[in-house]
Amino acid sequence: MTDLSPRRAGGRAARREARANPLADNLRPIRPGMSGGRYQPLDVADLDRIHNAALTALEEIGLSEAPASGIRIMTDAGAILGDDGRIRFPRALVEDMLVLANRSVTLCGRDPLYDLDLSGTRVHYGTAGAAVHMVDVDTGHYRESTVQDLHDAARIADQLENIHFLQRPMVARDILDNREMDLNTIYACCAGTFKHVGVSFTEPSFVPDAFELLHLIAGGEDAWRARPFVSNSNCFVVPPMKFATESCEVMEACVRGGMPVLLLSAGQAGATAPASIAGAIVQAVAECLAGVVYVNAMAPGHPCIFGTWPFVSDLRTGAMSGGSGEQALLTAGCAQMHRYYGLCGGAAAGIADAKLPDMQAGWEQMCSNVMAGLSGLNMVYEAAGMHASLLGFCHESLILGDDLIGQALRCVRGIEVTDDDLSLEVMRATCIGGPGHYLGSDDTLNRMQRDYVYPVVGNRASPKEWVEQGKPILVDTATQRKEMILSKPARARFAPDVDAAIRSRFNIHLH
Amino acid sequence: MTDLSPRRAGGRAARREARANPLADNLRPIRPGMSGGRYQPLDVADLDRIHNAALTALEEIGLSEAPASGIRIMTDAGAILGDDGRIRFPRALVEDMLVLANRSVTLCGRDPLYDLDLSGTRVHYGTAGAAVHMVDVDTGHYRESTVQDLHDAARIADQLENIHFLQRPMVARDILDNREMDLNTIYACCAGTFKHVGVSFTEPSFVPDAFELLHLIAGGEDAWRARPFVSNSNCFVVPPMKFATESCEVMEACVRGGMPVLLLSAGQAGATAPASIAGAIVQAVAECLAGVVYVNAMAPGHPCIFGTWPFVSDLRTGAMSGGSGEQALLTAGCAQMHRYYGLCGGAAAGIADAKLPDMQAGWEQMCSNVMAGLSGLNMVYEAAGMHASLLGFCHESLILGDDLIGQALRCVRGIEVTDDDLSLEVMRATCIGGPGHYLGSDDTLNRMQRDYVYPVVGNRASPKEWVEQGKPILVDTATQRKEMILSKPARARFAPDVDAAIRSRFNIHLH
């Protein structure tokens, strides 16, 4: 080893040594918030037509079942309540509210290191959903998910470089009281990760308690309002074209409390949205535009995410199919509509219909994840861990998803074409009087860390090496990583005094 | 069941019945040759720069080691042989030869039903490679591949809707004589499928025998030349920037015999090509342009495929990594260069580094396959069945790849935005006085077969149904489908008299 001392090996060894150290953030091959947008499933004319159809739908069909408070807010702004109870939106109103909408939302982490800048086509991947089962990869058993499972998911996500936020991916079914469940969901997520957290609330009356909890975690209301590290995932509509009355009231409470809101329209093409992909996008856009009017009429510029989340039905059964090519197109098309409006947007990708983290899960998760990234979706929700069309969450799959998303992010980064990248001089020096190959050249070594993404769990060994490794099974390797992560103390747990204050005020189920 | 008689159920039942019949080809949700191109990893300016760098490389660096015949062909056309043995190509020569190049190659199947039209951005997926192992999915054992394995792969590919051609994916290692191996490869592939077949030849002296065999299969030389159903996958360069002397001689013989040629440049970024993605594309483009000059100087307009196949190294080991995001970018970038030239192009995608058809294999294969399709690559080679970075081929994975590619093709088809697709009237009828959902509507039922792609082996059941099915393991289901396909007689076998004539002339190993 003395041969490698800096004195003997000179500049090359120094460079090798530098490469062994972590790279500065701007030199890492991939990172959160890289810009996508090279994939554009829709023409400019298509975008206009979808926009116009959505405006027509808002003007002529409108939405029913707004709460009294919402009717007041929206009609005060210029919306029209019909005799049929539907609120209709003049085009000019929608256009005016789009001008007021916040176009540069930052979603804060508890640690600013994890802040997410949702401007432009910047792409972030994370979890989401409301799975009711945990998937046991050894037995294929789907059991009810618990608050400990949720906390563990948060702890795992906290350690995964390519999981940029944690929206609550599963329901703590061991907590039967809905108020306690909502509050414990916040606790379990925030105690597990410093990354941005998304949650939902079952009833509007639970929101004040949630803010009390969040103020305790933040160190007071001002600190919370300065850097809100939790957003509200809000299904404010029940497609087609109906407000979800209680969720709208939750949304109003969240807006007042300074919480960013994900305006989530989760229609299902062929069931609660038109079976046509374009039609499902039209309806989702219309519904989310209604949300933009609602929120900006209430609090202009309040941080919102334009959450067009149309899902897909398998039309043979009517059941959801999140892993289909149709789903990938829906999500990418929505991302392009977000760009059309210049709004911060989110949609669902990475869902597997597969029950286990098998080959089907891999292709399903990659298809929609890479297309979402290439289309420049700001927030790619449900990007990892989701099985059985959102019914099951799997920790091993979350870990594998980190690798999968790493490769998707490499694709989002794309191809640089500077003079240096064109490599003419490297080619010349290699071919004419050079070694005739590029192995070990300075150019190759320099690009090794800056340009290439390596899997953590994925295996690239040759068959011979793989046999020597004992033919490791991918899922087993993921289980080992899971156990390693969970064997260490949770770094995001709250300071003892804060934790004591929380526990004396609320019934915290997590030990 | 009498309730469903046409008389009682009227037009709806008739429509349901029509849906149960196979759709006319132009109504199927996906088919070979759909047009991609919505994903463009490179700017127009990037394309120009890559083109110019490739021309500079050809003009200033050139290629060494052309055979004597090739030197004559290329220098007669205007290329310059340097004292260093390298042939350099003036820009005007390359541009002139690009004008002569064939831009509308059709690759024939033995049955015209499977003809592939490589114009524009039409996308086709198929196998390719030279794997030396078969993967046993039960044990993870990598054993030497045989001519029977190859024939079985052809029979399986013949039955898979989304595998559009069969380029020889593995080597018949049980045939030790190279001439016999090459001839038996043709036999085993063509006797297994009516789809277009690609093969390679070890030595130029084997080519006359191959043509004799092909003429026997075709029913004479005229019939062969009218519809050549086999193309030559030809590694005519050994990157960087060297001709492969013998392969060039093979190429010349194939051109003379009327066989379409895949001009294949298979550099490996970071080993035999620059580590930069753009640089690897520059080199591949330069090498393939040299091939375009070579072939068109010899036989203007001869059907060629511009085969920029840059691979990726895992720079930690120098070993190949076909499953990386970098690979997906390389392939998509190359597809865009094919469009730039308006040439029929091919590249590699769908390669797994994973040793087994596991989740890693799924994400690796989908990433490059869907991006290749979205970028409008005419021929997506190695799209299914390939593991361990091309070392192992797997029948089960080929079958799973058919499902995977089906979803990728759905993405290639994209989003239609006609007035009908926008679905405003469907929304209106559903929301105002309608059922409030789209389940079972005529629009939904009509789109069920026309717009949606369903997996054959992939499982979309709910967890409950999946348990009732006995928790089927994906790979086991693929094995069942494999056994079902292989239990039936091979439909593509030759007529008895033809077969007898072939066997009396050549030593055919397949029973």
Find chain B residues with C-beta within 8 A of A455's C-beta. Answer: 360
The answer to whether the CB atoms of A423 and B317 lie below 8 A apart is: no
Backbone angles phi, psi at A173, to 5 degrees: -80, -5
Mean pLDDT estimate for chain B: 95
The SS3 of residue B273 is strand
Tell me the C-alpha distance between B358 and B323, whole Å: 13
Q: Is the pLDDT of residue A9 over 70?
A: no
Find chain A residues with C-beta within 8 A of B375's C-beta. Answer: none
Backbone CA torsion sign across B336, B341, B344, B348 = negative
Contact assessment for residue A37 and residue A31, using Cβ atoms and an 8 Å cutoff? no
Mean pLDDT estimate for chain A: 95
- B27 or A202: which leads in pLDDT: A202
How many Å lie between the alpha carbon of A435 and the closest alpha carbon of chain B? 10
The confidence band for B294, taking pLDDT boundaries of 50, 70 and 90, is very high
What is the pLDDT at residue B21? Answer: 54
Considering only the beta carbons, identify the residue of B41, B240, B357 that sits closest to A430. B240
Q: Does B38 touch chain A (CB under 8 A)?
A: yes
* Residue in B395, B460, B465 to test binding to A, most A beta-carbons within 10 Å: B460
Residues belonging to chain A: 511
Contact assessment for residue B219 and residue B501, using Cβ atoms and an 8 Å cutoff? no
What is the pLDDT at residue B7? Answer: 38
CA atoms within 13 A on the CB side of A145: 28
Q: Does A479 touch chain B (CB under 8 A)?
A: no
Find chain B residues with C-beta within 8 A of A354's C-beta. Answer: 458-459, 474
Q: Which two tokens stand for residue B210?
A: 């191959």
The answer to whether the CB atoms of B444 and A43 lie below 8 A apart is: no
Q: Does A460 touch chain B (CB under 8 A)?
A: yes
Q: Is the pTM of this model over 0.90?
A: yes
Considering only the beta carbons, identify the residue of B333, B360, B407 that sits closest to A324. B407
Q: Could you report the per-residue pLDDT of A483-496, keeping only the tens digit for each?
A: 999 999 989 999 99
Backbone CA torsion sign across B181, B182, B186, B192 = positive
The answer to whether the CB atoms of A364 and B362 lie below 8 A apart is: yes
| Single-letter residue type at B400 | L
Q: Does B433 touch chain A (CB under 8 A)?
A: no
Contact assessment for residue B309 and residue B234, using Cβ atoms and an 8 Å cutoff? no
| Single-letter residue type at B303 | P
| Single-letter residue type at A165 | F
User: CB neighbours of B335 closer than 8 A, spacing ≥ 6?
Assistant: B36, B345, B347, B372, B375, B376, B377, B378
| Single-letter residue type at A88 | R
Over range B227-250, report the average pLDDT: 98
Q: Cα B412 to chain center, whole Å?
A: 15
Q: Does B363 touch chain A (CB under 8 A)?
A: yes
Q: Does B454 touch chain A (CB under 8 A)?
A: yes
Q: Omega into B6 within 30° of 0, i.e. cis?
A: no
Tell me the C-alpha distance between B248 and B232, whole Å: 12
How wide is the angle at C-alpha B315 spanned by C-alphas B312 and B317, nearest 5°?
A: 110
The SS3 of residue B198 is strand
Find chain B residues with C-beta within 8 A of A474's C-beta. Answer: 354, 356, 358-360
Q: Cα B202 to chain center, whole Å?
A: 21
- Of A191, A183, A175, A167, nearest in space to A379 by CA: A167
CA atoms within 13 A on the CB side of A370: 35
Closest A-chain CA to B39: A39
Place of tokens 């009017």: A293
CA atoms within 13 A on the CB side of B503: 14
Tell me the C-alpha distance between B376 and B369, whole Å: 11
Q: Is the pLDDT of residue A5 over 70?
A: no
Q: Could you report the per-residue pLDDT of B112-140, keeping only the tens digit for each?
A: 999 999 999 999 999 999 999 999 999 99
Closest B-chain CA to A50: B422
Q: How many CB atoms lie within 10 A of CB B44?
A: 10
Considering only the beta carbons, identify the residue of B283, B333, B353 that sits closest to A460. B353
Strands A165-167 and A122-127: parallel
How many Å lie between the alpha carbon of B151 and the closest alpha carbon of chain A? 24
Q: Does B354 touch chain A (CB under 8 A)?
A: yes
Contact assessment for residue A407 and residue A164, using Cβ atoms and an 8 Å cutoff? no
Contact assessment for residue A423 and residue B279, using Cβ atoms and an 8 Å cutoff? yes
Find chain B residues with C-beta within 8 A of A447's C-beta. Answer: 270, 275-276, 315
Contact assessment for residue B134 and residue B170, using Cβ atoms and an 8 Å cutoff? yes
How many Å lie between the alpha carbon of B186 and the closest alpha carbon of chain A? 28
What percent of chain B stands above pLDDT 70? 95
Q: Does B429 touch chain A (CB under 8 A)?
A: no
Lowest-pLDDT choice from A95-99, A477-481, B2-6, B439-443: B2-6
Closest B-chain CA to A241: B431
What percent of chain A stands above pLDDT 90? 92
| Single-letter residue type at B197 | V
Burial (0-12, 13-18, 19+ Cβ within 10 Å), B394: buried
Considering only the beta carbons, identify the residue of B274, B321, B445 that sits closest to A438. B274
The answer to whether the CB atoms of B279 and A426 lie below 8 A apart is: yes
User: What are residue A386's DSSP bridge partners?
Assistant: A393
Find chain A residues with C-beta within 8 A of B461's C-beta. Answer: 355
Maximum alpha-carbon separation in chain B: 87
Find chain A residues with C-beta within 8 A of B358's C-beta. Answer: 358-359, 362, 473-475
The confidence band for B398, taking pLDDT boundaries of 50, 70 and 90, is very high
Tell me the C-alpha distance between B128 and B165, whole Å: 9
Query: Residues of A numbered 69-128 whose beta carbons fall under 8 angstroms of chain B's beta carbons: which are they?
Result: 84, 86
Tell me the C-alpha distance between B49 and A418, whole Å: 9
Backbone angles phi, psi at A64, to 5 degrees: -100, 170
Q: How many CB atoms lie within 10 A of CB A209?
A: 17
The answer to whether the CB atoms of A423 and B276 lie below 8 A apart is: yes
Q: Which two tokens stand for residue B29?
A: 């949700």
How many Å lie between the alpha carbon of A205 and the closest alpha carbon of chain B? 29
Tell me the C-alpha distance between B364 and B41, whole Å: 19
Contact assessment for residue A417 and residue B42, using Cβ atoms and an 8 Å cutoff? yes
Q: Is the pLDDT of residue A1 over 90?
A: no
Tell me the C-alpha distance between B56 and B286, whole Å: 9
The confidence band for B316, taking pLDDT boundaries of 50, 70 and 90, is confident
The SS3 of residue B93 is helix
Q: Omega into B463 within 30° of 0, i.e. cis?
A: no
How many Å lie between the alpha carbon of B139 and the closest alpha carbon of chain A? 10
User: CB neighbours of A283 closer than 8 A, spacing ≥ 6?
Assistant: A54, A57, A239, A240, A241, A265, A267, A273, A274, A310, B423, B427
Q: What is the dihedral of CA A77, A79, A83, A85, to 10 degrees?
A: -90
ipTM strictly over 0.85? yes
What percent of chain B stands above pLDDT 90? 92
- Of A272, A392, A405, A399, nearest in space to A350 by CA: A405
What is the pLDDT at residue B318? Answer: 85
Strands A87-88 and B196-199: unpaired
Tell me the C-alpha distance between A507 and A499, whole Å: 12
Q: Does A422 touch chain B (CB under 8 A)?
A: yes
Q: What is the dihedral of CA A298, A301, A302, A304, to 10 degrees?
A: 110
The answer to whether the CB atoms of A360 and B459 lie below 8 A apart is: yes
Q: How many CB atoms lie within 10 A of CB B209?
A: 17
Query: Residues of B numbered 317-336 whose beta carbons fall under 8 angstroms of chain A's beta carbons: which are they?
Result: 317-319, 321, 323-326, 328-329, 333
Using alpha carbons, list the distances in angstroms from residue B47 to B327, B339, B371. Answer: 18, 10, 18
Maximum alpha-carbon separation in chain A: 87
The confidence band for B335, taking pLDDT boundaries of 50, 70 and 90, is very high
| Single-letter residue type at B168 | R
Find chain B residues with C-beta within 8 A of A395's C-beta. Answer: none
How many Å lie between the alpha carbon of A97 and the closest alpha carbon of chain B? 23
Considering only the beta carbons, identify the residue of B427, B444, B445 that sits closest to A61. B427
Backbone CA torsion sign across A247, A249, A254, A255 = positive
What is the pLDDT at residue B123? Answer: 98
Q: Could you report the per-residue pLDDT of A138-177, keeping only the tens digit for each?
A: 999 999 999 999 999 999 999 999 999 999 999 999 999 9
Q: Is the pLDDT of residue B476 over 70?
A: yes
Contact assessment for residue A392 and residue A134, using Cβ atoms and an 8 Å cutoff? yes
Tell me the C-alpha distance between A289 and A294, whole Å: 9
Tell me the C-alpha distance between B186 and B189, whole Å: 5
Q: Could you report the per-residue pLDDT of A442-462, keeping only the tens digit for each?
A: 999 999 989 999 999 999 999
Over range B30-35, report the average pLDDT: 97
Burial (0-12, 13-18, 19+ Cβ within 10 Å), A272: buried
Over range A284-311, report the average pLDDT: 98
CA atoms within 13 A on the CB side of A253: 23
Q: Cα A154 to chain center, whole Å?
A: 14
User: CB neighbours of B24 closer than 8 A, spacing ≥ 6?
Assistant: none
